[in-house]
Amino acid sequence: MQHFHFLHQLQRCARFHFPTEGRKLHAHIIKIGLYDCSLKLCNNLIDMYGKCGLLDDALQLFDEMHHRDLASWASVFTAHNEANQPQKTLLLFPNMFLDGLWPDHFVFASVVKACANSGALRVGKQVHCQFLKSVFSVDDVVKSSLVDMYAKCGLPDNAKSVFDSILVKNLICSSAMISAYARCGRKNEAFALLGELGEKNLQCWTALISGFVQNGNLIDAVDVFLEVRREGVDMRDPFILSSIVGACASLAALQLGKQIHRLVLGLGYECSLFVSNALVDMYAKCSDIVEAKKIFDSMLTRDIVSWTSIIVGMAQHGQAIEALSLYDDMILAGLKPNEVTFVGLIYACSHVGLVNKGKSLFKSMIDDYKLSPSLQHYTCLLDLYSRSGHLEDAENLVNTMPFQPDEAVWAALLSACKQHGNTEMGVRVANRLLILGPKDPSTCILLSNTYAGAALWDNVSKLRKQLANLEVRKEPGYSSIDSGKETTTFYAGEALYPMKDAIFSLLKEFDSEMRKRGYIPDTTFVLHDMEQQEKERQLFWHSERLAVAYGILRTVPGSVIRVVKNLRICGDCHTVIKFISSITNRKIVIRDANRFHHFNEGACSCNDFW
DNA sequence: TTAGGGTTAG
């Protein structure tokens, strides 16, 4: 009798997330000696701890158990999944076989979920095979999780074949399938499946919208969101709100983002951790780092994503010291950094030339936090060395890191050689790049200019041929500017654009004023085999200049001009915009493919290295 | 005891 009472109470604590009461029950169970004799009680305790977010307690109890059954394993897997530690589930999984147990449908479902959330496709496929050979192969819940796994791993056709094998389809597996299509860009199939559903719920719409966001199909994501709004669907849900805020972040659509923020406030979701994290990131990515920090400061609870978002945001906006100081606050607050936090931190160091600090953070990441650095971490460290002129350390790192350096890595090193005038290393690096066969036209230009600088004309002509043969053309450069009511986009060198004559005259005026102040166009960002005048003409039409000039003509004097560019800003435009900020006394913020540049009084927050 | 939708880098 007593036994059933405890089971019931534990299930209640698990369901309503009452950790304190759950712990008390545990103590009571031990006290009256029920603990050792009931497997079922132990399994329910693990489940309760997992659902209450107390993974360590769940794990401790699990480790202490003398005998475990399938339910014990399934509960501990679910506890890890709930704590967002799917990799741990997969590490534990093989140990289950050592207990002499073979997975049932509960274990299959939780292990497949772990594969889905950690992108472990190979293990997922193995588990799928085991499932098909098992007596549970008709279980629809496991099939639902398999659809989700293939969706998250980017294999919509595999997802579809599992989906087709489900006899009675419900909204859960259909949402997973819609997500599979949306996140790989198969828009029509996603819409068609959604249309087939008799009754839809918010999850289906969220699956579609967030799938589009993840795929970069941002305009469709916003369109669907607005349509769902018009249909009067209740949006009081943190999932859909954080997803659409994320779309605004990627679009750098500050005005739309502000509208969604007002909606969030209206619906009372400003306290949702996911939503406020997304808002912090959105404001940072929409170039309003001040508002991002305000939201961060106003948050009552903050997790590692909140801290990482603001640290990365600060680093990208060139506020490195603040980023590092926020990290200290985060550690004091008792949070543990993750891989993404360290990307932001090392990035911050590279922008103020804190070589030793960056090195020690990299070391701390490995030694103190047992995180394994990825190629991105090495790239950040490389940037730190390169930027600070530690070229030998940089070259050494590229040669010794446990990753095959790709074109971007070599190109970054080559660019640093150019920046610091090290021709000897430049040629050495260029030779490595030449063997690799550069694919990006801007790498070819960099290479060609390096060889031209060293008078190695044979290589120059080889590269010209290679560039002519490159099938992949460079993505056309464009910049957009949000003037409050509308967004206007400018493409490099285009002949027709709004206010063409006024922009042309203004840029001409700037050009003559800048030359008086000592400006010399830097044409090394253009291929060498052109006449000087033609090179200068090419630079003159770069999209960011058109957008900035338009901004000066169309916005209120004194307001901040915010421009978003799809590619990296070129060195000459960077110089020009510094001049423009000083001539016009305007603050100009440009988000390029990599980072933010805050131009003010003739200087840029990136300290001229990016 | 199991399954679907969300946030952070590059």
Q: How far apart are CA A121 and CA A100, in angstroms?
A: 25
| pLDDT 10s digits, A185-201 | 999 999 999 999 888 88
Q: How far apart are CA A250 and CA A328, in angstroms?
A: 28
- Taking only Cα atoms into account, the Rg of chain A, rounded to an integer number of angstroms, comes to 28
C-beta separation of A70 from A101 below 8 A: yes
CA distances from A20 to A24, A52, A57, A285, A556 (A): 6, 9, 12, 39, 56
Query: Which class does domain A404-469 fall in?
Result: mainly alpha
A323 CB burial (10 A radius; 0-12, 13-18, 19+):
buried
Question: Residue with structure tokens 């922009």?
Answer: A503
- Nearest nt (C1') to A206 (CA)? B5
- Nearest nt (C1') to A14 (CA)? B1
- Answer yes or no: is pLDDT of A236 > 50: yes
Q: How far apart are CA A486 and CA A414, in angstroms?
A: 40
Through-space distance between the first and last CA atoms of chain A, rounded to whole angstroms: 69
Please give the average per-residue pLDDT across A157-165, as a whole number.
Answer: 94
Q: Which residue is nearest to nucleotide B3 (CA to C1')?
A: A141
Q: How far apart are CA A328 and CA A334, in angstroms?
A: 10
Amino acid at A525: F
| pLDDT 10s digits, A549-608 | 999 998 888 888 999 888 888 888 899 999 999 999 999 999 888 788 999 999 998 877
| pLDDT 10s digits, A44-60 | 889 888 888 888 889 99
C-beta separation of A14 from A57 below 8 A: no
Q: How far apart are CA A109 and CA A101, in angstroms?
A: 16
CA distances from A344 to A30, A318, A349 (A): 46, 11, 9
Q: Which residue is nearest to nucleotide B10 (CA to C1')?
A: A376
What pLDDT shows up at residue A531? Answer: 58
- How far does the CA of A373 sit from the C1' of B6, in Å? 26
> pLDDT over 70 for what percent of chain A?
94
- Nearest nt (C1') to A145 (CA)? B3
Q: Which residue is nearest to nucleotide B6 (CA to C1')?
A: A239
Question: Residue with structure tokens 């909140």?
Answer: A306
- How far does the CA of A481 sit from the C1' of B5, in Å? 32
| pLDDT 10s digits, A423-448 | 889 989 988 888 887 777 777 777 88
What pLDDT shows up at residue A257? Answer: 93
Q: How far apart are CA A525 and CA A368, in angstroms?
A: 42
- How far does the CA of A244 sit from the C1' of B4, in Å? 18
C-beta separation of A116 from A143 below 8 A: no
| pLDDT 10s digits, A343-353 | 999 999 988 88
- How far does the CA of A470 sit from the C1' of B1, in Å? 57
- Answer yes or no: is pLDDT of A181 > 90: yes
| pLDDT 10s digits, A203-222 | 999 999 999 999 999 989 99
C-beta separation of A131 from A100 below 8 A: no
Q: How far apart are CA A417 and CA A432, in angstroms?
A: 14
- Answer yes or no: is pLDDT of A9 > 90: no
- How far does the CA of A38 sit from the C1' of B8, in Å? 42
The set of residues, in sequence order, having a beta carbon less than 8 Å from that of A227 and lying 6+ positions away, is none
- How far does the CA of A216 sit from the C1' of B9, in Å? 16
Q: How far apart are CA A32 and CA A588, in angstroms?
A: 70
What pLDDT shows up at residue A101? Answer: 93
| pLDDT 10s digits, A373-410 | 999 899 999 989 988 889 999 999 999 999 988 888 88
Q: How far apart are CA A214 and CA A211, in angstroms?
A: 5
Least reliable range by pLDDT among A10-24, A144-158, A242-256, A453-467: A453-467
- Nearest nt (C1') to A376 (CA)? B10
Please give the average per-residue pLDDT across A326-335, as a whole number.
Answer: 94
> Two tokens at A22?
């759950």
Confidence of residue A35 (pLDDT cuts 50, 70, 90): low
- Answer yes or no: is pLDDT of A153 > 60: yes
C-beta separation of A377 from A384 below 8 A: no
Q: Tell me, what DSSP letter sits at residue A137? A: T
* Mean pLDDT rounded to a whole number for chain A: 88
A136: helix, strand or coil? coil
- Answer yes or no: is pLDDT of A90 > 60: yes
Strand B contact nucleotides, protein CB < 7 Å: 1-10
Confidence of residue A313 (pLDDT cuts 50, 70, 90): very high
Question: Across the beta sheet with A588-591, what order do the strands follow?
Answer: A487-491, A478-482, A561-565, A588-591, A596-600, A603-604
β partners of residue A487? A482
> pLDDT over 90 for what percent of chain A?
53
Please give the average per-residue pLDDT across A335-348, as a whole number.
Answer: 93
| A77 or A452: which leads in pLDDT | A77
- How far does the CA of A515 sit from the C1' of B8, in Å? 43
Residue A164 φ/ψ, nearest 5 degrees = -65, -25
Q: How far apart are CA A40 and CA A113, in angstroms?
A: 24
Q: How far apart are CA A356 and CA A375, in angstroms?
A: 20
- Answer yes or no: is pLDDT of A472 > 70: no
What pLDDT shows up at residue A524? Answer: 65
What pLDDT shows up at residue A15? Answer: 81
- Nearest nt (C1') to A383 (CA)? B10
Q: Which residue is nearest to nucleotide B9 (CA to C1')?
A: A340
**How many CB atoms within 10 Å of residue A158?**
20
Please give the average per-residue pLDDT across A118-133, as a whole number.
Answer: 93
| A9 or A342: which leads in pLDDT | A342
